Structure 1
Amino acid sequence: MSDTLSASSAASDALRQELFPIREVARLTGINPVTLRAWERRYGLIQPTRTESGHRLYSQADIDEVRSILGWIERGVAVSKVGKILARSNSLKVTAEPVQRPTASSEWAEWQEQVRRAVHAFDERRLEQVYGQVFSSYPMVVVFQHVLMPVWQELLLRQDAFGQTSEWLLLDSVLRARTLQRQQLLTHQHQQSTVLLAAVPGQCHELELLVAALLMASSDIAVQVLGLGQPLEELSLVCEKRAPQAMVLFSNHPPGADTAKRLRKLGLTLDCPLMIAGDASDLLQDALVGTELVCLGSDGRLMQRRLQQYLAGHLDT
């Protein structure tokens, strides 16, 4: 009887603290329990809490971290190096993101689950409804960074089973259409400065680029997106013709050994400042110290704030 009460109490505690057993984390992320344990023991990537009997319990933050780890591995980063990348990225984001109330992550998880259910049912009408509801509940940066894009990334990485590619395509098409719509509305407002945003070829999807543009833009800065496949060697021509206040390159892939050198060389060909955004920006921070290139980071609030500060002459590069 006491064992039953103890198990019930542990389950209640887990529910109150919104903790998940390893089997549920495996279901949500597609990473099997053996791999999750290895990431913890061998590399120290995740630190779940433990019950008195030694069972692992994972928070929503742990689950988000698992997805981040998987994302870097899918981009070709060795698992042994992911910990250092995440530590660097998190240290840059912590000053940009205000502390959320304790229930925020659970609310975001509920919205994520609604998105998953609509996509799994191929119910585009319901997906549109959820999209509208979540935007009426949170600011744009929260909607994209904590609700929509985590599900999009999750589906992108889990296309091995029948139907999963179609699910991702549905979500991607709906979000691209809505993001383009928001982007067009912003460009019709009266901004003082125009910034161009281009993807490093092959290093992000269109939706990631469009979302980055929305998160960087503000009432006094318009961010205009160049089409995917924009040749980097032709950016000097584009900047000469369009005369932007700055040129931002976006990449979500780890930089190569010669990336910093290539970016410095590219910057010399432009008539405007060159900036770097996305996950690559976090990783290039040290390599670009002392240069005129500006790293905006990957967090939406941080990107917008640094862009505003630089254009106002208040950001020390």
Structure 2
Amino acid sequence: MSDKANPPGDTPRYPIREVSRLTGVNSVTLRAWERRYGLLRPHRTPKGHRLYAREDIERVERILQWLHRGVPVSQVRELLEQPDAPASARPGVDDWASQRQQLITAIEALDAVRLDDLFNQVLALYPAHVCIEKLWQPVINHLEERWDDRLGAALQRRALEAFLRTRIGTRLYHANPQAGPLRVLIAPLPETDGPLWSLLAALLLSEQGHRVQLLDAPLSPQELTLAVERLGADALLLTSGKAEKPDLVKRQLPRLADQLGVPLALCGPVARIRAADLEDTRVAALGDDLPAAASHLNALLAETASDRDQR
């Protein structure tokens, strides 16, 4: 059965799963934009199924452009209805700044109920890559600068890790059976303080349609080789918020990359700090901007898949 649905005498129409694939916005968020804010008006079949025209897809892309500029979703409709509104226009209130402060307050207060509300609310209204770029990554960068060895810092970090491990693990459990064929194995490096970077990377790559296997504790290079083989991974992504030891970065990881039959990539501060050390190796240093890192990894996966098809 084709993913497209074309009502007789009408322009091509697309089911919600296809719009989600084309735009990167999950179906829950698309429905929320329609119900809460009237941003979309899909055609309905007699059975009530949503069908979207090409104009609807273009509208989703314009919505994403405004969201990336920091415009709250509640104010996007007004801008969409002003076709002459300049691309640089934005409201005076930065909704993301407010949400970042609320999230920091909830984490520092160990307020699990508020944290759960914020997590669910933002992911219902925004794609995961927008949430990570505008909310989660700035908050974690801010907290890691403050945590260091302060009393209570370890408690805040571990509580946040436990929260995200549960919520993101649940999402992976439900998303993986419906995901595409490519599998990404994610694991932290030994010196990192915890799996925060791995967890956010897992959330992002899952939204982009990959099957994600998340390991939240470091493994030796030998164990990673075995994990890639046994789990059938198409790429191995290692994360760290630290620089990691020179021997690991300069010798062990390049050797591991030469042995694996799939791409080996790093993301997080380690990939920014150690980029120069990896220039002449098969290890891909993706940097510490998670959405940009995911785009780079997707390109590596596409290249690998193309090479396999040609064999």
Counterpart of 1:137, as a letter, is L
Q: Does 1:186 align with 2:175?
A: yes
- Note the residue ranges of structure 1 that are not aligned, 5 or more in a row: 1-96
SS state at 2:276 partner: coil
SS state at 1:202 partner: coil
**2:288 pairs with 295, 298, 303, which one?**
298
Q: Does 1:272 align with 2:262?
A: yes
SS state at 2:223 partner: helix
Q: What residue number does 1:56 align with?
A: none
- Note the residue ranges of structure 2 that are not aligned, 5 or more in a row: 1-66, 72-89, 306-311
Q: How does 1:39-188 map to 2 (within 5 A)?
A: 100=70, 102=90, 106-119=94-107, 121-156=109-144, 157-158=146-147, 165-188=154-177
Q: What residue number does 1:284 align with?
A: 274
TM-score, normalization: structure 1?
Answer: 0.58
Counterpart of 1:252, as a letter, is G
Q: What residue number does 1:211 align with?
A: 200
SS state at 1:287 partner: helix
Counterpart of 2:185, as a letter, is L
Structure 1 Cα separation of the partners of residues 258 and 196 of structure 2: 29
- Of structures 1 and 2, the one scoring higher in RCO (CA 8 A, sep 6+) is 1
1:154-192 per-residue CA deviation (whole Å, 9 max, x = no partner) reads 445337666565444444432332122222222122311
Structure 2 Cα separation of the partners of residues 184 and 249 of structure 1: 21
1:177-220 per-residue CA deviation (whole Å, 9 max, x = no partner) reads 21222222221223111121121113241232111122233544
Contact 1:239–1:271 (Cα < 8 Å) also in 2: no
Structure 1 Cα separation of the partners of residues 258 and 229 of structure 2: 13
Give % identity. 27
Q: What residue number does 1:251 align with?
A: 240
1:243-291 per-residue CA deviation (whole Å, 9 max, x = no partner) reads 3212222222125444233321122232323222222222333333343
Q: Does 1:228 align with 2:217?
A: yes
Contact 2:267–2:290 (Cα < 8 Å) also in 1: no
Cα distance change, pair 189–163 in 1 and its aligned pair in 2 (3 A)? same
TM-score, normalization: structure 2?
Answer: 0.59
Cα distance change, pair 116–252 in 1 and its aligned pair in 2 (3 A)? closer
* CA RMSD of superposed structures (Å): 3.2
Q: Does 1:313 align with 2:303?
A: yes
Deviation at 1:110, TM superposition (A): 0.6
Counterpart of 2:167, as a letter, is R
Counterpart of 1:264, as a letter, is P
Contact 1:158–1:164 (Cα < 8 Å) also in 2: yes
Deviation at 1:111, TM superposition (A): 0.8
Counterpart of 2:293, as a letter, is M
SS state at 1:188 partner: helix
Cα distance change, pair 195–116 in 1 and its aligned pair in 2 (3 A)? closer
1:93-150 per-residue CA deviation (whole Å, 9 max, x = no partner) reads xxxx965555598322211222244445544222222222222333212323432344
